[in-house]
Chains A and B, each alone.
Chain A
Amino acid sequence: MPLHHHDSDQQTTAHVALVIFQVAQYWVALEARYVLAMTDQPQGLLKANAQTLLHADAPPHEQLPPDRWLTLNNRQRNDLTSTWQLGVNGDITLRQLPVTTMHPLPPLLQARRFTPALCGVAFDQHQLVLLLDARKLSP
C-alpha cells in the first residue's frame, strides 16, 4: 500500500487512506485508491457480496442484503476499463489510518486463508479491521 508522507516526522504521520465498511460483524477496509465509486444500486452485471467473498458467515438473522455498492477494477480481465461492484451493507467511511496500526497477516494465517485478498489487520481504537487487497478481489 502506498503511504502518504507528511513533511514532519515520517514515522508518526504516515497514513493510508482506507474505505472502511462492515461485513457481518467484522470491520473491513480497502485501500481508497482502488475504489472508483460508490452507488446505492448495482449498475453493472458483475457484482459480488462482500460477505461471501470474505467467507464471513453470519447467523441468518444477521445476514443483510447489500445496500451500497463499491465499484472496483476487474483485475482478472487485464482490462482496466472493466469494473465490477462489491456489495456491502451499512455505513461506508473514508478514513486515514496510521501505518503503525497496520500489520501483515501472520505467516501461518497467510498460508491458510481462504481469500487471497485478506492481507493484514489493523487496530483502530481497539477495534480489529481486516485489510483486503482490492487487486486480489474478483466477482
Chain B
Amino acid sequence: MTAKLSPTQMAWRAAQDIDDGAYVNLGIGFPEMVAKFQPPGREAIFHTENGILGFGEAPAPGTEDWDLINAGKKAVTLKPGTAFFHHADSFAMVRGGHLDVAILGAYEVAENGDLANWSTGPKGVPAVGGAMDLVHGAKRVAVITDHVTKDGKPKLLKACSLPLTGVGCVTRVYSSLAVIDIEGGRFVLREKMPSLSVEDLQAMTGAELHITAPVADLIVPEL
C-alpha cells in the first residue's frame, strides 16, 4: 500500500494556495472541506452557485434554516458581510471571470487540462449542475482527486475517455500523491509524497510527468 493523502488532507493542501482576498467556489463533496483550512490571517470569500457570497460553516444540528443552504443543499450559516443574489447574478460572477479560484472533483483529467467530472457514460441519470460554468469562469481551476481509481487505474491521462466537462480548463491538480500543474499541454510535477519515487508516481500516471524544477516533498499534517 502506498501512503496517500486523505480527502481532508488534499483539501488542506489546496487551501494553502488560496490568497487573502480571493473569491472562491468549492465543488460539492470533498472540495467543500477546503473552507475549513484557510491559513491564519487570510480571508477568502466563498461563493455558492445558489446565490450566497461569504457564508459560514454548518449550523449545529437542529438549528438549520433550509432557506440558507449551499450548492450541495447542505445548511450553512450567515457571517457579517454575507450577500444574497439571484442565479443570473451568481453565474455572472462565475462566467464573467470574477471568481479567482474554483476547486472541483474529477473522474479524469487530461494533460492538456481537459476535465471529465459529470458523467460516467450513458447509463443512469446524467447531472451537470454548475460544473461546466465554473470551469470556464474562474481565473484558476483546480482539481482535488485520488491519483488513481478505486481499482488502481490512472485518473491523470493523455486524453479523457469519459464525457468532458470542459476543454483545456484545469490548471492544477491536488492528487492523493502529488501536486501537478498543467502548463503548455503537459503535466508538470511540483510536489510528491516523500515516500514515493518519481518512477513509482509515473507508473500510476497515464501521461508523462515533466520536471522543470526541483520537486518538493508533499507534506501535510495529520488531520
Bound together: no
Spell out B's residues near A (CB within 8 Å): none
